[in-house]
Structure 1
Amino acid sequence: MIKKTYQVTIDAPVDHVFKTMLDKQTYKQWTALFNPSSDFEGSWEKGEKIYFIGINEQGEKEGMVAEIAEHIPNKYISIRHKGILDQGKEVLEGPAVEGWAGALENYTFEEISGGTTVTVDVDTNEEYIDYFDDAWPKALQKLKELCETRS
C-alpha cells in the first residue's frame, strides 16, 4: 500500500466542516467528483459498518464495504475498507479485494484561526494513484465551496 495525503483549508468553523462532510445531502455533493451517483448507507459511529455506494452502468448498486475504525467528533474519522459490494452482495475475500482490504482512509480536522484544515490520508495501490491525485483535490475543493457558502 502507498499512503497519499490531500489537504484543504476551509474558511469555516471545524464543527460546520465536520457536519458538512458527513451529512447525507452534502456528502453526495462533494463525493460526486469520484462518482456522480456517490452515496453512503450506514452509520458514521465507531465500530459500525458503512457502505460507500454508487450505481453502475447497468443500474446496479456497487461500492465499498467498510467499518468506522474511529470517530472523534470535529477531530478525526478513520475508515477501514473491508471489501466490495457487487450486485448488492458483500465480497470480503478473494482476488477482487485482496490488494486493498484493510486499507485506511483517515480524515483529520484541525482548527486554524477561525478556519479548518482537513487532511485526508488514504492507503492505495499504484493502480489508483493518478485517479486519486486528480479526484481528491477536486472533491476537497467542492467540500470547501459547500462549507464556505453555508457557514
Structure 2
Amino acid sequence: MKKMNYQVTIDSPVDHVFKTMLDKETYKKWTAAFNPTSDFEGSWKKGAKIYFTGINKDGEKEGMVAEIAENIPNKYISIRHYGILDKGKEITEGPAVEGWAGSLENYTFTDLDGKTLLKVDVDTNEEYIEYFDESWPKALQILKEISEG
C-alpha cells in the first residue's frame, strides 16, 4: 500500500465544509469526479458500517464496504475499507479484497482564520495511483466550489 496525500484550502468555515462533504446531496456532487453515480448508504457515526456505491455499466450497484473508524466533528474522519459490493452482494474476504482490505481514507479539517484546510490521506495500491492523482484534485475542487458557493 502507498499513502497518497491531497489537500485544498476552501474559503469557507470548517463546520460548513465538514457538513457539505458529508451531506447526502452535496456528497454525490463532489464524488462524481470518481463515478458519476457516486453515493453512500449508511451512517458517518464512529463504528458504523457504510457503503460507498455507484452503478456500473451493466446497471448494477457496486462499491466499497467500510467502517467509520473515527469521526470527530469538524476535525477528523477516518474510513477503514474492508470489502466490496458486487451486484449488491457484500464480499469481505478472498482475492477481490486481499490487496487493500484495511486501507484507510482520512480527512483532516484545519481552521485557517475562517477558511478550511482539508487534508486527505488515502492508502492505495499501485493500480489506482494514476486514477487517484487525476480524480482526487478534481473532487476536491468541486467540494471547494460547492462549499464556497
Same fold (TM over 0.5): yes
Give 5+ residue unaligned stretches, structure 2: none
Map of 1:59 onto structure 2: 59
Q: Sequence identity of aligned pairs in percent?
A: 77
Map of 1:104 onto structure 2: 104
Cα separation, 2, equivalents of 1:79 and 1:131: 19
RMSD, matched Cα: 0.3
* Pairing 1:60-79 to 2, within 5 Å after superposition: 60-79=60-79
Give 1:8's aligned amino acid: V
Match status 1:144 vs 2:136: no
Map of 2:38 onto structure 1: 38
Cα separation, 1, equivalents of 2:68 and 2:89: 19
Map of 2:118 onto structure 1: 118
CA positional deviation for 1:74: 0.2
Give 1:121's aligned amino acid: D
Give 1:59's aligned amino acid: G
Cα separation, 1, equivalents of 2:115 and 2:87: 41
Runs of 4+ in 1 over 2 A off after TM superposition: none
CA positional deviation for 1:114: 1.2
Cα separation, 1, equivalents of 2:77 and 2:110: 12
- SS of residue paired to 1:67: strand
Give 5+ residue unaligned stretches, structure 1: none
Cα separation, 1, equivalents of 2:37 and 2:102: 24
TM-score (normalised: structure 2)? 0.99
TM-score (normalised: structure 1)? 0.98
CA positional deviation for 1:113: 1.5
